[in-house]
Amino acid sequence: MNLLEKLDAAAAARKALLPNGVGAFGIPIEEIFSATEARIGDRRVLLMGTNNYLGLTFSPECIRAAHEAIDKEGTGTTGSRMANGSYFGHRALEKEFADFYQCSSGIVFTTGYQANLGTISGLVGPGDTVLIDGDSHASIFDGCILSGANIIRFKHNDMADMEKRLRRLGDNIETTLIIAEGIYSMLGDQAPLADIVQLKNKYGGILLLDEAHSLGVLGKTGQGLVETTGLLNEVDFITGTFSKSLCSIGGFCVSNHPQLEQLRYVSHPYIFTASPSPATIASTRAALELLQKGSHLRDKLWSNCRQLYSQLQEVGYQLGPDPGPVIAAVVATPQQALLLWKQLLEHNIYVNLILPPAAPEGKSLVRCSVNAAHTTEEIRYVGDTFAKLYGAISTQT
Amino acid sequence: MTESNYDEIMKLLCDRLSDLTNADVLITPETNLINQLSIDSIKLLNLIMEIEDAFDISIPINALTDVQTVRELANLVHKIKTTSS
Ligand SMILES: Cc1ncc(COP(=O)(O)O)c(C=O)c1O
């Protein structure tokens, strides 16, 4: 098989799984109206599948900051942080992230994906070990591959399995990086951070926590899982993204280890890419301020989350173990998932469809993401629609 | 590196593989795990976990990319076992 034939074979396998699945992935959004509404085809839909957890995509403060930055600094930096791409805003945002997490240093990356790639591949290399959760996000896994370290996975959130693997590391624990996530993006469940920290303290290793989905969502000031658990000082490195609750694009890593600064000189995903545009940095800075002050947004977000989670649970949908902004209905087959996804769209609700192999353990998911800008009525409409479709979905084979 | 250890690994692998696959496929050290035994990835992962527990080791997933045959898997397990103890 030549290279192009291999792609044809992969495309054929995809089409065999979902013969009527055309359009489910990469759906064209024709117009975007607000944090919760868009036009798809000729439908005005309710957006229930974005990562806009605090609903800040149209916040006047962020928009104004972005406009001003474009006017003052132009559309792009046209260069790497290593060369001509470190403007005042990049450095200020790094300081603001470090202060937010009470850390001595912070680094801004061009995407959250690169924050994980760059941090992981900067911290470990060939001969070292990464111990990662089995449900880790692709950016974590790809960072591990890029590093050349030995990759050992423990079963998702299974502390007995994690402990077994820590014990088996023996002296290699000295050069081991442990990685977990604040909120896992597939089922919306949280890492058992207190247990992870306890095991880290017993066996050793360095701990990195990706707060991509928990930043702005968990904790009084929105720091994430480190705040709700009170374990900020026990985590060595925190990464996260601007693309979810901060409503722009980019990523960061903060730490109290002064060695973090060295990553700027060794980490290819930091060096060999252009720095975020001035508008991106400016809107992120404005959003970070709103996020810290946004406990009213978090209250609204969580009340929406609880409302939808309990309604779907009552109807009989199988959900992830914790209520939260990511609420995934686990269905038996890809066909059921596609049917549910399509029917929801017919009812003007856009959610995410996740099929094997993207979802863990061969599961098929119809995933909702709740945000603070959804009204109680909108959440009720989504819950009622899921309820109405339950019968048809569960009898579909 | 003791011979008995290596033989023990090879025996365990062959026993477990013949349980998992069609009874009339003869398993030798040169048998190709994917092409000849057509073990799917979930079964293979379960087998790896069993082997890990049996020998009290962790097999890094990146090391598995070089493994095609039963002998290569036995060599990998043996290497990890001898360097970790
Ligand atoms: C857990 C996790 N980490 C990192 C990322 C990457 O973020 P970004 O979209 O900024 O590249 C994501 C986003 O999908 C994620 O879910």
Q: What is the pLDDT of residues A225-253, one digit of tens each?
A: 999 999 999 999 999 999 999 999 999 99
The pLDDT score that the predictor gives to residue B21 is: 78
Cβ–Cβ below 8 Å for B58 and A169: yes
The structural domains of chain A, with segments of one domain joined by +, span 13-47+295-395, 60-292
* CB < 8 Å to B56, chain A: 168
Report yes or no on B85 lying in a domain: no
CA atoms within 13 A on the CB side of A387: 14
- CA–CA–CA angle A192, A229, A298 (5° rounding): 105
Shortest alpha-carbon distance between residue A370 and chain B (Å) = 33
Pairing of strands A364-369, A326-331: antiparallel
**Would you say the CB of residue A210 lies under 6 angstroms from ligand 1?**
yes
What is the percentage of chain A residues whose pLDDT exceeds 90?
90
Identify the CA nearest to A157 among candidates A356, A322, A305, A326. A322
Q: How many domains does chain B have?
A: 1
The atom number, within ligand 1, closest to the CA of A242 reads 10
pLDDT tens-place string over residues A165-209: 999 999 999 999 999 999 999 999 999 999 999 999 999 999 999
pLDDT at B33: 83
Q: How far apart are CA A122 and CA A237, in angstroms?
A: 12
Taking 90 as the threshold, does the pLDDT of residue A320 lie above it?
Answer: yes
- Lateral strand order in the sheet of A129-133: A105-109, A251-255, A237-241, A206-210, A176-181, A129-133, A150-154
Local confidence band at A14 (pLDDT 50, 70, 90 cut-offs) = confident
Which residues are paired to A131 by β-bridges? Answer: A152, A178
A251 lines ligand 1 (CB under 6 A): yes
**Residue of chain B whose alpha carbon sits nearest to that of A126:** B62
Q: Which of A189, A186, A126, A188 is nearest to A157 (CA)?
A: A189
Closest-CA distance, A165 to chain B, in angstroms, reads 6
Instruction: Quote the tokens at residue A14.
Output: 């995809």
> Is-same-fold flag (A13-47+295-395; A60-292)?
no
Which token pair is A79? 């260069």
Instruction: For residues A254 and A108, give the distance between their C-alpha atoms in angstroms, rounded to a whole number.
Output: 9
| pLDDT category of residue A20 using cuts at 50, 70 and 90 | low
pLDDT of residue A23: 67
Q: What is the ipTM of this complex?
A: 0.89
* Structural domain containing residue B72: 3-80
Using the predicted structure, report yes or no on whether residue A19 has a pLDDT greater than 80.
no
**In the block, which residue shows the tokens 């990086």?**
A177
Q: How far apart are CA B50 and CA B20, in angstroms?
A: 12
pLDDT, tens digit, 9 for 90 and up, residues A288-315: 999 999 999 999 999 999 999 999 999 9
Q: Which of residues 18-77 of B touch A (CB under 8 A)?
A: 42, 56-58, 60-63
Q: Which residues of A touch B (CB under 8 A)?
A: 129, 144-145, 150-153, 165, 168-170, 362
Q: What is the mean pLDDT of residues A339-355?
A: 95
What percent of chain B is predicted at pLDDT more than 70? 92
Average pLDDT of span A383-392: 95
Angle at A206 between CA A205 and CA A209, to 5 degrees: 130
> Under an 8 A CB cutoff, do A168 and B56 touch?
yes
Q: Provide, as residue numbers in chain B, all residues whose Cβ is less than 8 Å from the Cβ of A152.
A: 58, 60-61
Domain spanning A13-47+295-395 has what CATH number? 3.90.1150.10
Instruction: From residue A337, give the alpha-carbon distance in Å to each of A319, A334, A355, A368.
Output: 13, 5, 8, 13
pLDDT for the residue numbered A368: 97
Q: Is A150 within 8 Å of B62 when comparing Cβ atoms? A: yes
pLDDT (0 to 100) of residue B20? 79
Chosen CATH of A60-292 out of 1.20.1260.10, 3.40.50.10800, 3.40.640.10, 3.30.465.10: 3.40.640.10
Atom of ligand 1 nearest to the CA of A183: 1
Task: Choose the weakest-confidence range: A4-18, A99-113, B27-41.
Answer: B27-41
How high is the pLDDT of residue B1?
46
Instruction: Kindly report the CATH number assigned to the domain that includes residue B32.
Output: 1.10.1200.10
The predicted structure's pLDDT at residue B18:
83
**What average pLDDT does the structure give for chain B?**
84
A256 pLDDT band, cuts 50/70/90, is very high
The average confidence (pLDDT) of chain A is 95
Q: B2: pLDDT confidence band, cut at 50, 70 and 90?
A: low
* One-letter identity of residue A263: L
Backbone angles phi, psi at A109, to 5 degrees: -115, 170
> Which mutation among A50, A52, A137 tests ligand 1's pocket best, with the greatest number of atoms within 8 A of CB?
A137
Tell me what pLDDT residue A118 has.
98
Partnered with residue A366 across adjacent β-strands are A329, A353
| pLDDT score for B3 | 55
Q: Hey, of B43, B45, B55, B62, which one would you mutate to test binding to chain A, going by the most A CBs within 10 A of its CB?
A: B62
**Would you mind telling me the total number of residues written for chain B in this entry?**
85
- Residue B52 in any domain: the answer is yes
Please tell me the distance between residue A75's alpha carbon and the centre of ligand 1 in angstroms.
24
B44-77 pLDDT, tens digit per residue, is 888 899 899 999 999 999 999 889 899 999 999 9
Provide, as residue numbers in chain A, all residues whose Cβ is less than 8 Å from the Cβ of B61: 151-153
Rounded Cα distance between B58 and B42, Å, is: 17
Spatial separation of the C-alpha atoms in residues A185 and A213, rounded to whole Å = 7
Confidence (pTM): 0.95
Cα A110 to ligand 1 centre (Å): 12
> Taking 70 as the threshold, does the pLDDT of residue A55 lie above it?
yes
Which tens digits make up the pLDDT trace of A130-149?
A: 999 999 999 999 999 999 99
pLDDT tens per residue, range A63-106: 999 999 999 999 999 999 999 999 999 999 999 999 999 999 99
Q: By alpha-carbon position, which residue is closest to atom 10 of ligand 1?
A: A112
Nearest to A354 by CA among A375, A370, A369, A371: A369
A155: nearest CA partner in chain B? B49
- What's the maximum distance between 2 C-alpha atoms anywhere in chain A? 61
In a domain, B48, yes or no: yes
Higher pLDDT, A25 or B51: B51
